[in-house]
Structure 1
Amino acid sequence: MARGTLDVRICGGRNLSNPNKEGKICCIVYYKDQQKRTEAIYCDGPDPEWNETLLFTIADHVEELKVRVHDGDYVTEEEVGHCDINIEGLLRDGGENRIEPTSYDVWRNNEGNYGNVTVELHFHPE
């Protein structure tokens, strides 16, 4: 079982903004019972850039991060897409590991691919 800290850097997205409106957009990342969010940034096009690092404590073997892209309007905070990232290989040997910035497909309900989000991962063992 790997124990340590996982740095999750949400770099940015491509084709994520709602084509019908401008506004704020953010990412919420879930790992086990932990939840962290990026700052909601104003996006007037399809390619938001967060470049924000979120820190998670790794103490149990959970193989997946869940990334949810949300309308950053805190009144409705509607999910506009989601992706799951398998981190089993990153944690497997319990040593320091990194996954360079990688683009992951974002899905929107049953409507198919909604664009992508680029994420960099870095695991620091205890």
Structure 2
Amino acid sequence: MPRGTLEVVLISAKGLEDNDFLSSIDPYVILSYRAQEHKSTVQEGAGSNPQWNETFLFTVSDSASELNLRIMEKDNFNNDDNLGEAIIPLEAVFEEGSLAENAYKLVKEQEYCGEIKVALTFTPERNDEEETCGGWKESTRDF
């Protein structure tokens, strides 16, 4: 069971459906892992190819193995619209430690509706099995 910190770098999206009649869409992303949730900044007027370059941290303390990314369109007069969702499996980042920038398909009502680009890094919680002696770490192995 992994324990540590998951760092998500939200880079960009492309191919989003621009359904705003009067102006370009204003997309943002809701990132969620278990009960933890973060919201990116709204990219006003960014249209169907927004760029964020924002970093978010999640605490990993159990075996949950998916990160959910939901792209929303900020609407000033109605409820915000869901533009698509990506579910990213995390087993590989837990094993490898990091996954370079990668594009994931966005889906809405089982239809492809663009892609979102993120990079992931997992930093395991330190397990201090060495004894501390006067501020120095003392190894238990023989030399």
TM-score, structure 2 as length reference: 0.78
Aligned partner of residue 26 in structure 2, secondary structure = strand
Is the aligned partner of 1:102 residue 2:102?
A: yes
Superposed CA RMSD in Å reads 1.7
Is the aligned partner of 1:9 residue 2:12?
A: no
> Unaligned 5+ residue runs, structure 2?
126-143
Indicate which of 89, 97, 113 corresponds to 2:92.
89
Indicate which of 34, 37, 59 corresponds to 2:36.
34
Supply the AA of the counterpart residue of 1:65.
L
Cα distance in 1 for residues equivalent to 2:44 and 2:19:
14
Look up the match of 1:68: 70
1:121 CA displacement: 0.3
Supply the AA of the counterpart residue of 1:32.
R
Taking a change above 3 Å as real, the CA distance of residues 53 and 17 of structure 1, as seen in their structure-2 partners, is farther
Taking a change above 3 Å as real, the CA distance of residues 17 and 51 of structure 1, as seen in their structure-2 partners, is farther
Q: How does 1:18-57 map to 2 (within 5 A)?
A: 18-21=18-21, 22-57=24-59
1:73 CA displacement: 2.9
Is the aligned partner of 1:58 residue 2:60?
A: yes
Cα distance in 1 for residues equivalent to 2:34 and 2:60:
9
Cα distance in 2 for residues equivalent to 1:44 and 1:64:
28
The 8 Å contact of residues 27 and 46 in structure 2, kept in 1 or not, is answered as no
Runs of 4+ aligned residues of structure 1 deviating over 3 Å after TM superposition are none
Render the CA deviation track for 1:47-92: whole Å, top value 9, x for unaligned: 1001111110000111111110001236512211001000012224
> Unaligned 5+ residue runs, structure 1?
none
The 8 Å contact of residues 17 and 43 in structure 1, kept in 2 or not, is answered as no
Supply the AA of the counterpart residue of 1:5.
T
The 8 Å contact of residues 13 and 116 in structure 1, kept in 2 or not, is answered as yes
Supply the AA of the counterpart residue of 2:85.
H
1:28 CA displacement: 0.5
Cα distance in 2 for residues equivalent to 1:62 and 1:32:
7
Render the CA deviation track for 1:72-124: whole Å, top value 9, x for unaligned: 236512211001000012224xxx711000000001224x1111000100111
